[in-house]
Structure 1
């Protein structure tokens, strides 16, 4: 077996083993790489605009991000905290309203037996609470790891890139470096389109809810924008708190809220995202939904959130390594034999 074939089999075999044995580690590393691509892309854009080195541009981009978070914390976070606090107080009231309406039906008491607050005091409820706390701290720890991977990857990507390329045979290292460049460009384009779409969803949702007089419109718009990172499924998660808050206001408000979310989602899915991703990243919607379902079942919320960029990266690798370098080469060889 040729060294180039052996090296590729070993590389993909190692990745497959990691995916089977430690999928969370692989997903966290990919999330860090995605963050590194974002930081590197922002720094390179600044460097091009100002005519400075990429390293300086990354530093300015990081300072800009830190400054943005500082301004956000000083000017906006207090009001958001108040709205989130009010949201946490109003949601139980909304649940009580739902409970009262369910109890009006004959099948209501039986259903509510499984949802009563006393169940949280049971051993199973305490175990679930401990698990939730552990998961929260685990998520914070994963966030720190992702942050450091992103920072190191953005500041000096050449070290990790060259190390990865050295794992394959020398005869195909140039092609491997080209594949990594194309994958990085694909992820950068996807991130640009996704962040713009998230901003549009957040602004339109918050504005629509505010015009409709729905309580906590800004907080709900922020939630909708953040959850828009998970296409197709994120909007379903975002609408739940809005509908619960609208329920005490009456059926008309519920219908208005439902119309706002459906309208914004339709606009984002059929107008905003196609326009933003035009000439950038084009992914088959059915394939994206299938991969999201698969990753959500296998790897949980992190897999669900990263399913789309993983699909974009995988399609780029498959197109360059398998289709162009293997299948098309066989087709060219057959045409060449026919010419002779």
Structure 2
């Protein structure tokens, strides 16, 4: 193995190993990526707090964690009764609304036929029992993965340099400066996406809660929280968030349903065409069609976890393509042609 060949071989081995891991253990890789994403968020907050208080980034991360726990505890103690009451009410009203909706559907022939076909499904069959068992196993599996995700985030946030140095050692010495630059650009891209996403989620939650409260919809606080959290999943998240609000509006008539639908549509329009473009300006620019295609692909391949992480993975992929393919390969076409051009022979 010659010295000039170590650089491309090392790069190929690193990316081939990551691809093999993604193919063999896709959910594990996605959970690790989710933990790293959370680690980047914690580290960014720690660095900002460290600069403000003139302390180290590690201490800044600790301050952020302690402050977050205290704020959540205090805020939870203050609003927990209201949220608990609203959640209980939501849990009670949704089945009643479904029963009311069922009664309305049964007034039509096509509705009765659809309900009869649905009732023919053997809910308590052995197959459904296996499905329930798998569902319970999945819940425990996701709970365990969430605990591991938290530990990945904590270790990555407190001491990222150790893991960065270990990752860079996988590359040949001549490739390490460029690998470090690409890694820094990737982290910066994810930081920008996270900051833009958090701002958008907050605005969506606040506007949805205020809009529903203004038109007199009960449980506006819980519905606003749901809308803000589900805004993490573009395109599909708003649809899922609007479902409980629309169900609660059904007993009050079609006018209320239309007003609730209008609130969600207005908030989603503001988020899609004003809030997100303004927040992501000069940070991360993702073509909407590419985001939708990536969500379909990752959702089909990896389920809800892939769907939730499709957008940051797309942003990271675009950054890697720009750094490694466009800048390092396509933009150097003229340099390669000049080196490969034959030296003209002159007559003496």
Q: TM-score, normalised by structure 2?
A: 0.93
Q: What residue number does 1:309 align with?
A: 312
Report the equivalent of 2:216: 213
Q: 2:134 aligns to what?
A: 131
Change in CA separation of 1:265 and 1:11 when aligned onto 2, cut-off 3 Å: same
Deviation (angstroms), 1:210: 0.5
Q: Deviations over 1:280-299 (max 9, x none)?
A: 11111111111011000100
Deviation at 1:117, TM superposition (A): 10
Q: CA deviation at 1:113?
A: 2.9
Distance verdict in 2 for CA 1:117–1:227, change over 3 Å: farther
What residue in structure 1 maps to residue 24 of structure 2? Answer: 21
Give the TM-score taking structure 1 as reference length: 0.95
Q: Which aligned pairs between 1:225-240 and structure 2 lie closer than 5 A?
A: 225-240=228-243
2:346 alignment partner in structure 1: none
**Cα displacement string for residues 187-220 of structure 1 (whole angstroms, at most 9, x for unaligned residues):** 1111011001000000000000001111211111
Q: Root-mean-square deviation (CA), in Å?
A: 1.8
In the alignment, structure 1 segments of 5+ residues that lack a partner are none
What are the Cα deviations for residues 256-296 of structure 1, in whole angstroms up to 9, with x where unaligned?
01100000000000000011011111111111111011000
Give 1:119 deviation, angstroms: 4.3
| Closer/same/farther in 2, CA of residues 56 and 117 from structure 1, 3 Å limit | farther
Q: Determine which of 18, 37, 53 is the counterpart of 2:40.
A: 37
| Residues 274 and 335 of structure 1, relative CA distance in 2, 3 Å threshold | farther
Select which of 282, 286, 299 maps to 2:285.
Answer: 282
> 1:305-334: per-residue Cα shift (whole Å, max 9, x none)?
000111111111111111111221223333
CA distance in 2, matches of 1:123, 1:100: 30
Q: CA deviation at 1:107?
A: 1.9
CA–CA separation in structure 1 for the residues paired with 2:137 and 2:120: 21
Q: Which moved more, 1:72-81 or 1:287-296?
A: 72-81
Compared with structure 1, are the counterparts of its residues 47 and 221 closer, same or farther at alpha carbon in structure 2 (3 Å cutoff)? same
* Gap runs ≥5 in structure 2: 344-348
Structure showing greater radius of gyration is 2
Distance 1:48 1:114 in 2: 63
Displacement of 1:157 in angstroms is 0.4
Aligned length: 340
Alignment of 1:255-334 (within 5 A): 255-334=258-337
The CA distance in 2 between the partners of 1:158 and 1:97, in whole Å, is: 58
